[in-house]
Amino acid sequence: MGETPNTQLPSSQPALRAQTLIERDRVVLSPSLPRSYALVIDHAQGADVWDVDGKHYLDMMTGIAVTSTGHSHPEVVQAIKDQAEKFLHICLADFHYEVAVELAEKLVEIAPFEEDAQVFFTNSGAEAVETAIKLARYATGRRQFIAFQGAFHGRTIGALSLTASKFRQKEGFFPLMPGVTHVPYPDPYRPSLVDSCCDNYGEVIVNYIESKLFNGMLPASDVAGIFVEPILGEGGYVVPPPDFFPALRDLCDRYGVLLIADEVQSGMGRTGKWWAIEHFGVEPDIVTTAKGLASGMPLGAVIARKSLMTWKPGAHGSTFGGNPVSCAASLATIRLIENGLMENARTVGEHLLEQVADLMVQHPLIGDVRGLGMMIGLEIVSDRDARTPSHDLRDRIVERAFEEGLLLLGAGDSIIRLMPPLMLSKEQADTAIDILDRVLSSVEEEHRTLAAVG
């Protein structure tokens, strides 16, 4: 077999040790891994990351919203060590252990609904979504689902069927799970059902579901659930308008459809509340979580109303789901979030959003800023008045920031997402803004020069 490079090296050449490692990586790792830029990590602590050549970076992307308490928080590391010395595995599907029970009790306590809850543990976000698909079908006896354009719910076949983010994620994998209908996400900056956004755009979307689907091509009596990200994640950090969730909850209640909040990215305190849906004053029926749940140890969970957990022993299970080391890391993570990090996400997140809004005043490449807590999106446009999205400029900014020691990640077509660790200090936030300011100025200068030339 010929050796096809799996990633194009970004224009900035990594230093020697990083370059060597990337060359070895290309040979043996799957070329499907998208890779953002040539970061080769050596070690990390809190919001600080060092690469194998000793260069320092400030982390505003946390391995896609995962290292919620910061890299290798000492209390999380200690909990992992303590549990690893006791036992690594016994299989929660067949046996019992306290650390899993204690974590489930905690998740039941913080579940975003009044009713009692029960928990199913998985190893990832996609597995949590698969579990929610199966549970919703089992509990309702219905088969169909509604999901949103721009949504990302994972890459396994069921979860991928709900995903409608990037073409490349689905190309080559059809047919997927039948029975999923996608509707527009209520994006106030880029509304697709109205010419320009209005006060009641959330209701417009919900009315569309009712009039075009339930009274048109999709009988509500066949719909098990609506999967929704309370803040669109991979699709572009879109915060829905305030009227959306109350109208959606009402629709679900009227038709007996389950409201399934995918909080894999938005949950676990990132937005300043345990769950992003809590900002919108409604209670979902099922919640999926993963990513920040265990600070970087693989763990996911489905938290559902107890009245829905009607499935029989053997209906669903997992060998590794609820791994004791991951559960211990999660309990330490939750303690840290309750004891200050959620509040820090809210206050430093607000500060960060204000600073980003100030950047927008100076930098025409920023078309929109939005977010809650430490989940902030900047939409990059080549023409602010026309709201022309610019994928290339966005990528150039992310790449240039990397060269300047700031780790960012894109989302959607033209969005930069800021998802720092919840322990980020105000000073670190200001450092990130200073670097971003410089990077935006240089990319803007280049953009102006290129536009003048050609």
Ligand X SMILES: Cc1ncc(COP(=O)(O)O)c(C=O)c1O
The footprint of ligand X (CB under 6 A) covers 64, 124-126, 129, 152-154, 229, 233-234, 262, 264-265, 290
DSSP state of 192: S
H helices within 163-263, ranges in order? 201-208, 244-255
How many other C-beta atoms can be found within 10 angstroms of the C-beta atom of residue 215? 11
| Residue with token string 């050549």 | 53
* Pairwise CA distance, residues 106 & 122, whole Å: 16
* Pairwise CA distance, residues 372 & 230, whole Å: 11
DSSP state of 195: S
Q: At its nearest, how many Å lie between ligand X and the CB of residue 312?
A: 26
Amino acid found at 388 = T
Q: Which is nearer to ligand X, 65 or 282 (CB)?
A: 65
- Comparing every residue's Cβ against ligand X, the nearest one is 125
- Yes or no: say if 288 and 311 are a contact pair by the CB < 8 Å rule: no
- Yes or no: say if 126 and 299 are a contact pair by the CB < 8 Å rule: no
Question: Which neighbouring-strand residues pair with 381?
Answer: 389
Q: Which is nearer to ligand X, 265 or 428 (CB)?
A: 265
Beta carbons within 8 Å of 212's beta carbon, 6+ residues apart? none
Cis before 175 (ω within 30): yes
- Yes or no: say if 71 and 42 are a contact pair by the CB < 8 Å rule: no
Quick one: tokens of 283?
């209670």
* Pairwise CA distance, residues 342 & 235, whole Å: 24
